[in-house]
Chain A
Amino acid sequence: EDQVTQSPEALRLQEGESSSLNCSYTVSGLRGLFWYRQDPGKGPEFLFTLYSAGEEKEKERLKATLTKKESFLHITAPKPEDSATYLCAVQEGKAAGNKLTFGGGTRVLVKP
């Protein structure tokens, strides 16, 4: 069974204090790893998809990286508006229908 574990569960940062979120996974064959941002009471907002180890993608202050066992979401010089829950999800290689398995999320709070 696929396992997706995110750490830490919660992260409090000062504005400008860079940090990284971790997503560890065990799947029989990774087809894709996804990062989403979710604000309270809203649906997840797509950020990145990573497909192979060594791949990196950036968007504003966010950078996602992928290895064979984990992915990191780096937040550089965060601002209060970066406060949200960040979710990672994996698509397993044998899955039919391309379903995603989500981790528990990391709640990020950036204080001004």
Chain B
Amino acid sequence: GAVVSQHPSWVICKSGTSVKIECRSLDFQATTMFWYRQFPKQSLMLMATSNEGSKATYEQGVEKDKFLINHASLTLSTLTVTSAHPEDSSFYICSARTPGTSASYEQYFGPGTRLTVT
């Protein structure tokens, strides 16, 4: 299957600082990438949809000024958590959609990034 990487795999930052997480599709071009967050023992919650060359589409309740998403190329999307607070501590996972029609595609996930804000 297709491979999606994330960097870093874990990060600890101080409250008030910003953190950038990278998501890369390694062996395919992804016009669409997605960002999720997952709290312990809970399922994935979609934060935003990232389309290459255009603005991200945020889910209801997700602050677009706090979670900045950039999809500058067909293989890279970044999520920047600005002015992080302890409540932003979570497991952030990206996914990338493989090329194809919407009737036949697969979505592959990265390994996740554990963010801890102290």
Contact = CB atoms under 8 A, between A and B. Distances in A.
B109 A43 contact: yes
Interface residues of A, number: 24
A49 to B, nearest CB: 6
Nearest to B40: A40
A41 B90 CA distance: 11
B44 A102 contact: yes
Contacts of A87: 43-44
Given A31-B102, A36-B109, A100-B107, A43 B93 contact: yes
A43 B1 CA distance: 14
Main secondary structure of the interface of B (DSSP, over half): strand
A8 interface: no
Interface string B89-118: 001010101000011111111111010000
Contact of B34 (A45, A46, A99, A105): A99
Given A41-B91, A42-B112, 19 more contacts: A31-B103, A32-B105, A34-B107, A43-B95, A43-B110, A44-B93, A46-B106, A51-B104, A87-B44, A97-B32, A98-B32, A98-B97, A98-B102, A98-B107, A99-B46, A100-B34, A101-B46, A102-B44, A104-B42
Interface of A: 31-32, 34, 36, 41-46, 49, 51, 87, 89, 96-105
